[in-house]
Amino acid sequence: MPSRRRFLSLSTFALPSLGLPTLFGGKSAALKPIVVSTWDSGVTANNGAWPVLKAGGHALDAVEQAGIAIENEPSCCVGLEANPDRDGHVTLDACIMDDRFNCGSVVFLERIKHPVSVARKVMETTPHVMLAGAGAQQFALQNGFALEPVKLSADAQKAYQNWLKKSEYKPVINIENSPKTKPSRKGNGPFAPSYFDDGTPNHDTMGTIALDVSGNVSGMCTTSGMAFKLHGRVGDSPIIGAGLYVDNEIGAVVCTGQGEEVIRMAGAHLAVELMRQGKSPEAACREVVERIVKRDPERAKTFQVALIALNKSGEVGAYAIQKEFSYTVTSGETPTKVFPSKSYFG
């Protein structure tokens, strides 16, 4: 993990600092691809995406592979073995968006291993953007996806049993800096911390945005949603414009954290529009965070929202309400690195 000072100097990936050619008027037309994912478990996602980008493939294929990689990882809080809702059901949400405003989404999907790929099928083979619940599952089965058994990971099972003791419905998410829930960096899987020391689940979402060698941008978001949510609840992650937005003239943004707060602000779309107005990726993410905080500064102390952004020049930025948010960057020039995000409270 880089020191804070080093992070500050690297937190914006300016093209010249990576020795990359510029898009407009540069010496070379070739761009270096880059992929950025939320959290340190973004390493798994980026590892899925990178071979596609490295081979000159399309950003859309890369982000789908990122989603598949993380949905295959049982120690991360997304996918079939992740945290259930308050009634014990794992319900998955995902979306994907390409460089031509094509987008697809599935919500409240049960027992299908790769919601990100179902979302892509919705995008590519139907006239619709979003399918929900039993209809989304039926569509997946008709398109060759298998119906998987119901199975929670050991961590998710433990966390759910713990939660059932009080069954307190507190839709609070990702408060990494709470003294009560300060996470152990020991972790439960390859990446820490999927769960806090007291068994409270941490983040539940993986978002990935990528720029390919042809200069095209795409993004995806996949999640089991907020742990122990009301049955039927859907957050920001599969909502185009809230959890994810891509405009190939500008760049891409993906969000994580308390989805209700992101939806109110149309967080990802707002950040893309702020970049259109000339803000850097980090400044755009910061302004979205500030608007969320401004709505209720006291309450904002109790939840997390974080955004990552990538512009067409390959610059990356992030901002979060609470500290402890991190994001993972893989590009041609550097090995994969995890960076701590700047935060509003911190």
Residue 223 near ligand ASP by CB under 6 A: yes
* Binds ligand ASP (CB under 6 A): choice among 34, 60, 103, 226: 226
Residue 268 near ligand ASP by CB under 6 A: no
Residue 181, φ and ψ in degrees, nearest 5:
-115, 20
Residue 91 near ligand ASP by CB under 6 A: no
* Binds ligand ASP (CB under 6 A): choice among 33, 235, 251, 317: 235
Strand partners, 130: 105
The token duo for 16 is: 């010249």
| The pairing of beta strand 316-322 with beta strand 305-311 | antiparallel
| Neighbouring residues of 63: CB distance < 8 A, sequence distance ≥ 6 | 35, 49, 96, 208, 209, 210, 218, 219, 220
> Please, which residue, 44 or 256, has the CB nearer to ligand ASP?
256
Angle at which helices 267-276 and 281-295 pack, to 10 degrees?
130
Residue 92 near ligand ASP by CB under 6 A: no
Segment contacting ligand ASP (CB under 6 A): 102-110, 252-260, 271-279, 288-296?
A: 252-260
Question: Reduced to 3 states, what is the DSSP secondary structure of residue 104?
Answer: strand
Strand intervals (E) in 72-140: 92-97, 103-109, 130-132
What's CA 92's distance to the chain center, in Å?
A: 14
> Please, which residue, 174 or 343, has the CB nearer to ligand ASP?
174
* Binds ligand ASP (CB under 6 A): choice among 73, 204, 212, 282: 204
Nearest approach, Cβ of residue 99 and ligand ASP (Å): 24
Residue 200 near ligand ASP by CB under 6 A: no
* Binds ligand ASP (CB under 6 A): choice among 58, 111, 203, 312: 203
Q: Is 334 one of the catalytic residues?
A: no
- Quick check: 90 and 214 in contact, CB under 8 A? no
Active site residues: 205
Tell me which residues touch ligand ASP (CB under 6 A): 173-174, 203-205, 223, 225-226, 235-237, 256-259
